[in-house]
Amino acid sequence: MVQPIIQVQGANKEFGKGKNTVAALKDVNLEINAGEFVAIVGPSGCGKSTLLHVMAGLEQPTAGRILLDGVDVTLISERDLPKVRMQKVGFVFQSFLLIEDLTAFENVQSVLWPSVDHTKEKQEMKALEVLREVDMLERRDHFPRQMSGGEQQRIAIARALVNDPPILFCDEPTGNLDTKTGENIMKIIAELNREKKMTVVLVTHNEDLVKFAKRTLRMKDGVIR
């Protein structure tokens, strides 16, 4: 039997206090198996991005448990959470979130800078390897402002892959791209799932991207339907 790599058990997430409390997640239960490609689809404000952040340990749920590869991230201190993120997850965001003052190569390599397990040479080799995978090797010395949106997103994908995480979280990865570029980005992500058996969780409001996923979950008002 395949062990779920992500388990969400009774997750609730509330923002604000008192009268202004908004429930972004309402008793969400979910299991995702290793190697799956799951799309979470829903309109803006339905809580899908919040669910992704909670699953990835970027935000703590107000109640409930989140298990990432067997590790309960809700029990881990804020101090130790980055280590879990470093080992288990890669992120691709809608707005790329690259560091403007670092080159493409440095942006990718920066994930490994704090790692004591990688020597400088190993880090460089790994960064070059993933840049080659996303076909951005020749743009390695360019800064984000010198690249198109599609190129920046490729760099963001390379950054998400450099630490060999078993899980890739994608938050509207094509949201800031034109249709053709978005399609190419999705092909890269689908290929990672197919060839590297990477678990991919995609959050989107774009129904056209559902075709890349093996399973689709629909969300509305903080609930998976």
Question: Which residues bind to another protein, rule: CB under 8 A?
Answer: 53, 58-60, 78-79, 82-83, 85-87, 91, 97-99, 101-102, 110-111, 113-114, 116, 120, 159, 163
Q: How far is the CB of 189 from another protein (least distance, A)?
A: 17
Residue whose CB is less far from another protein, 163 or 174: 163
Residue whose CB is less far from another protein, 165 or 182: 165
What lies within 8 Å, CB to CB, of 215 at 6+ separation is 36, 37, 38, 39
User: How many residues would you count in the chain?
Assistant: 225
20's tokens: 């202004």
- In whole angstroms, how far apart are CA 142 and each of 132, 162, 184? 15, 18, 21
Residue whose CB is less far from another protein, 143 or 181: 143
Q: How far is the CB of 178 from another protein (least distance, A)?
A: 23
Q: How far is the CB of 120 from another protein (least distance, A)?
A: 7
Residue whose CB is less far from another protein, 153 or 213: 153
Contact by Cβ (8 Å): 211, 186 = no
Burial 32-42 (b: 16+ CB within 10 A, else e): beebbbbbbbb
Burial of 218 by CB count in 10 Å (0-12 exposed, 13-18 middle, 19+ buried)? Answer: middle
Q: How far is the CB of 80 from another protein (least distance, A)?
A: 9
Task: Give the type of residue at 47.
Answer: G
Contact by Cβ (8 Å): 73, 167 = no
Contact by Cβ (8 Å): 163, 86 = yes
Q: How far is the CB of 99 from another protein (least distance, A)?
A: 5
In a 3-state reduction of DSSP, which class is residue 144? helix
Residue whose CB is less far from another protein, 12 or 110: 110
Q: How far is the CB of 191 from another protein (least distance, A)?
A: 22
Residue whose CB is less far from another protein, 161 or 224: 161
The span from the CA of 79 to the CA of 59, in Å, is 13
75's tokens: 């029990």
